[in-house]
Amino acid sequence: MVNDVLIAIKEAERRAEELISKSSDDSEKITEDANKKAEEIITSSKEEANKKAMELLKKSKEKGEKEAETITKEGRIKAENIKKDTQKNLNKAAEIILSSILGE
């Protein structure tokens, strides 16, 4: 009877050690899985942030190019108008000079 009790105690201790070992293994696996998942989330977040940053950069560049094109067109128009005005004034000046020389 005492021997049966000791055997039962030893068996209970063995099962407790197995449970402790399994719990420890499970805990390590859960921790490893959580760390792996966290790394995946971080990597995914970085990739998404980089993608959005590149899209924003592309849109900003396109907007800047359109604005530069508009400003360039406006500048060309103004330069052409100045050239036309200068040509008109040059013709008037030439007529005044010729009149002055010819005494008219």
Could you report the per-residue pLDDT of 7-42, keeping only the tens digit for each? 888 888 999 898 998 999 899 999 999 999 999 999
Residue type (1 letter), 88: K
CA 15 to CA 44: how far, in whole Å?
43
pLDDT in tens, 58-93: 999 999 999 999 999 999 999 999 988 888 888 888
Pick the residue with more confidence: 82 or 104? 82
CA 70 to CA 64: how far, in whole Å?
10
